[in-house]
Amino acid sequence: MTASKPGPGLSEPTTGRDTILFITATALLLVGAASSLSGGDGLATALWIAATVLGLSYSTVTIAVALRRRRPSVDVIAWLALVGALLVREPLAGAIIAVMLFTGGVLEARASARAARELGALAARAPRIARREGDGGLHEIPVSEVAVGDRLLVGAGEIVPVDGRLLESTSFDESALSGEPMPVERPAGDNVRSGVVNAGRPARMIATETADRSAYSGIVRLVEQAQASTAPFVRLADRFAVAFVPLTLAVAGLAWALSGDPVRAVAVLVVATPCPLLLAAPIAIMSGLSRASRHGVIIKGGAALEQLAAARVLLFDKTGTLTRGRPSISEVVTADGMDADELLRLAASLDQTSAHVLAAAIVTAARDRGIALAPASEVAERPGYGLQGRVDGREVRLGKAVWILADPPPAWVRRARRRAAVEGSLTVFAAVDGRPAGVFLLTDPLRADAPRMMRALRYAGIQRTVLITGDRADIAESVGRIVGTDAVYADRDPAEKLAIVEDEQATAPTIMVGDGVNDAPALAAAAVGVALAARGATASAEAADIVLTSDRIDGLADAIFIARRSHRIARRAAATGMALSAAAMALAAFGLLTPTLGAVLQEGIDVAAIAMALTVLLPGRTHTVVLPAADLAAARRLYVQHTALGPLIEQVRTVADGLTGSSADLKRLGELLDRLEADLLPHERAEEEQLLPIVARALGGPDPTGALSRTHTEIEHQVRRLRRCFEDIGDEPEPDELTDIRAGLYGLHAIMRLHNAQEEENAFSLI
């Protein structure tokens, strides 16, 4: 049995008090049993009566508090059983009931104290001090005074105070946010979140958020919200347990009336406890919440967990959900005479002083290519236009076309604009020493794990997937086809998103996934709103029922598995326990159980139901693939090479564009082929020998790497073919020869783009 849960406004019983009561009652029970076995029946009876009176006093207080709050209490059954045990001279039964009563109190108090302790620990480790670079060196300031754009130093072992962008590479312990125990290496230019610990060397960073808008403070608020909700099934258990009181009294009264023996009535009261409902169901639900948090999923209470278990339709936004949510450079188009790497070096050197999201993309691209940056001076921002400054004595401007270009635009600008329009790219134009020098094309790339996530969600039981976005229809349709959605709604504003969610919700329980402020109304309207808060707290995280704290959306599939398993075990534990209690009531009503035996049996039923509920904590079915440490290290090493080859792959198309007319740049073609043979082909062979066996071991099944192996072969064949064609042409190639080579380059580019997408989805998404 357990004491009634306090209502709103009541103070929870402290763990210490309940533990003392439990230890006292247990000691009285055990010492009394020892005295009885040694022949001291009088002392045993006195000790058992004392334990019974202690339990009776406790239940009287809890009932009085519940009545004052006008809340029903199932402790009435315990109170009547204790009184009955004294009246029919069954003090041993009364002592056992008292121990059962305090056991429930201890479990509840410990669960409440643990939740409070975890929240207190989370809040206690929140960063409070930051070290800011300024005139005269470093200055320690309160984290609340950090402003966007400040340069900060994070020492080894220190907690990152606010969200920012790294100026130097180092590794971080991100377990506080993601649950991932392994340190994560972050290169210069990468984003880093507050609350993670610098596990490497001291590193400088630029603040991109203030403290109150950074990731860690948002997660503390989210965990506070997660404490406040009770699952529908737990509320149903409370109501059912209260309804069980009159049924118990009726059965007890009938047993007494038919037999004339009040002992039978007491025995019925003893075994008629709804503990399997009052304890097993909440324990299973709370265990599910705990297990989900290990996968980087904060579920705001049991209600959200139960709704997640019932959901069948998934709706999601595109930007930041299926895509990375931050731009990256897809291509650098340069004016004649300007080298792409040199332009990127100048631009990134200037942009490293800026906290703008597009600046971060340019700096990251330069770091990925291994380009060393120079310090910038005389940096000034032109609001609404861009940034200007001097790098290595050269004047550099970055920004909008109207600030960089003169009319009419040259041919390379028209080509870049056509490509940007087709691919939905952003453009940042660059000028060097007052002359237009090039343009950076930036896109929001699809997450490598998005297609695998969609398959995992269908495997978890999602029957329908819907993409809702404010982006253009052609781009949305393309993304929808890649990830395999059932429906796509493009060009939708927040009100239209809300209407779509409400329509889908009318047919089946829905999940809405988003990460932007404009997603908040739709998240609130869905049965379950899921927000991605890996880059900080937003309105979407506040409106959502579930928050993914890591930057991986496939954790949602694991959360669905956990929710359904928790719900299933909660019902099974409660139903099994109550069925056994009902059977025990029947036995007691027919005189087949004494109060003492009934108390012992009921304690066993309670323990069995709780043990069944705790099985939620055991490992269950998930879609997560865990790689051995050696495989993980090898895959990460190959991924670094894979990323570094991105510019070379885009250069294939650029060289193909230049093979026109009499001015075809054959020298550049030869240099490209040299690089493909020296850099690309050895990497493809290394992937064939090292990466594909790792993927095969991780995924299993019949030939999971066949397609990847085939494209490795095709890439090498196409490079060899281009080399032969290049060697066969003379100094003045025929137009047909150039056409063949240009077609081969375009074909190679397409194959490599497809191959890289397959690798990122099926291989590198595992890390």
Q: pLDDT per residue over 279-332, tens digit each? A: 777 778 878 887 887 777 888 778 888 889 999 999 988 877 787 777 888 888
**pLDDT of amino acid 1:** 46
- Of 374, 363, 354, 558, whose CA–CA distance to 460 is shortest? 558
**139 vs 516 pLDDT, higher one:** 139
**pLDDT of amino acid 8:** 34
Sheet hosting strand 184-186, strand order edge to edge: 184-186, 170-173, 197-198
**155 vs 470 pLDDT, higher one:** 155
The H or E element that residue 106 is part of is: helix 91-124
> How many Å from the N-terminal Cα to the C-terminal Cα in the chain?
47
d(CA 740, CA 555): 47
CB contact at 8 A, 764 and 637: no
**pLDDT of amino acid 510:** 92
Q: Name the residue type at position 469.
A: T
pLDDT band at 429; cut points 50, 70, 90: very high
**pLDDT of amino acid 3:** 43
**pLDDT of amino acid 496:** 85
Of 124-128, 388-392, 594-598, which range is least confident? 124-128
State the residue for tokens 């009955």: 84
d(CA 552, CA 550): 5
pLDDT band at 2; cut points 50, 70, 90: very low
CB contact at 8 A, 360 and 164: no
Nearest 10 degrees: Cα torsion 720, 724, 727, 732? -120
* Mean pLDDT within 580-604: 87
**343 vs 702 pLDDT, higher one:** 343
d(CA 142, CA 191): 22
Of 100-104, 141-145, 344-348, 581-585, which range is least confident? 100-104
| 153 beta partners | 204
State the residue for tokens 């060097």: 432
CB contact at 8 A, 86 and 52: yes
**Tokens matching residue 679:** 């850099």
| 184 beta partners | 172
pLDDT at residue 563 greater than cutoff 70 = yes
Question: Residue 490: helix, strand or coil by DSSP?
Answer: coil
Chain Cα centroid distance, residue 187: 22
**pLDDT of amino acid 94:** 84
Q: Which residues of 431-456 are buried (b: 16+ CB within 10 A; e: fewer)?
A: bbeeebbbbbbbbbebbbbbbbbbeb
**pLDDT of amino acid 153:** 92
Task: Tell whether the torsion through CA atoms of 576, 577, 582 and 583 is positive or negative.
Answer: positive
Strand extents, DSSP E, 444-564? 464-468, 487-489, 510-514, 528-532, 546-548
| 297 beta partners | 548
Complete DSSP assignment for 143-157: GGG--TT-EEEE-TT
Complete DSSP assignment for 148-185: TT-EEEE-TTPBP-S-EEESS-EEEE-HHHH---S-EE
Half-sphere exposure of 550 (CA within 13 A, CB side): 21
Of 23-37, 427-441, 669-683, 699-713, which range is least confident? 699-713
- Of 119, 123, 140, whose CA–CA distance to 131 is shortest? 140
d(CA 286, CA 563): 10
**pLDDT of amino acid 226:** 47
d(CA 432, CA 429): 10
Find out whether the peptide bond into 451 is cis, omega within 30 degrees of 0: no
pLDDT band at 607; cut points 50, 70, 90: confident
Report the residue count for the chain. 767
- Of 353, 287, 365, 301, whose CA–CA distance to 328 is shortest? 365
**pLDDT of amino acid 206:** 92
pLDDT at residue 70 greater than cutoff 80 = no
- In 527-554, where does DSSP find H-type helix? 539-543
Q: Name the residue type at position 530.
A: V
The H or E element that residue 138 is part of is: strand 137-142
pLDDT at residue 541 greater than cutoff 50 = yes
pLDDT band at 390; cut points 50, 70, 90: very high
**pLDDT of amino acid 346:** 93
Most confident of 19-28, 450-459, 723-732: 19-28
**703 vs 378 pLDDT, higher one:** 378
Query: Of these residues, 18, 150, 238, 317, which one is catalytic?
Result: 317
- Of 479, 433, 414, whose CA–CA distance to 453 is shortest? 479
What is the crossing angle of helices 281-293 and 91-124, to 10°? 20
pLDDT band at 222; cut points 50, 70, 90: low
* Mean pLDDT within 246-255: 86
What is the per-residue pLDDT across 357-369, written as a single tens digit (0 to 9) for each?
Answer: 788 889 888 887 7
Query: Is 519 annotated in the active site?
Result: no
CB contact at 8 A, 348 and 371: yes
Complete DSSP assignment for 356-420: -HHHHHHHHHHHHTTPPP--EEEEEEETTTEEEEEETTEEEEEE-HHHH--SSPPHHHHHHHHHH
The H or E element that residue 765 is part of is: none
What is the crossing angle of helices 629-644 and 646-657, to 10°? 30
CB contact at 8 A, 156 and 200: yes
Complete DSSP assignment for 271-338: H---HIIIIIHHHHHHHHHHHHHTTTEEE-SHHHHHHHHH--EEEE-STTTTB-SS-EEEEEEE-TT-
| 282 beta partners | none
- The radius of gyration of the chain's CA atoms, rounded to the nearest angstrom, is 34
**pLDDT of amino acid 763:** 79
Q: Is 8 left (phi over 0), alpha (psi -120 to 50) or beta?
A: beta
- Of 569, 563, 488, whose CA–CA distance to 530 is shortest? 563
| 428 beta partners | 440
Question: Residue 539: helix, strand or coil by DSSP?
Answer: helix
Average pLDDT, the chain: 80
* Mean pLDDT within 515-526: 73
pLDDT over 70 percentage in the chain: 84
* Mean pLDDT within 199-228: 73
**Tokens matching residue 112:** 């409440």
d(CA 312, CA 681): 45
**Tokens matching residue 19:** 């533990």
pLDDT band at 207; cut points 50, 70, 90: very high
In the chain, how long is the greatest CA-to-CA distance? 118
The H or E element that residue 448 is part of is: none
CB contact at 8 A, 644 and 370: yes
**pLDDT of amino acid 9:** 34
* Mean pLDDT within 745-759: 86
**pLDDT of amino acid 466:** 93
Most confident of 150-154, 356-360, 597-601, 756-760: 150-154
**pLDDT of amino acid 221:** 63
d(CA 488, CA 481): 9
The H or E element that residue 68 is part of is: helix 41-68
d(CA 715, CA 366): 26
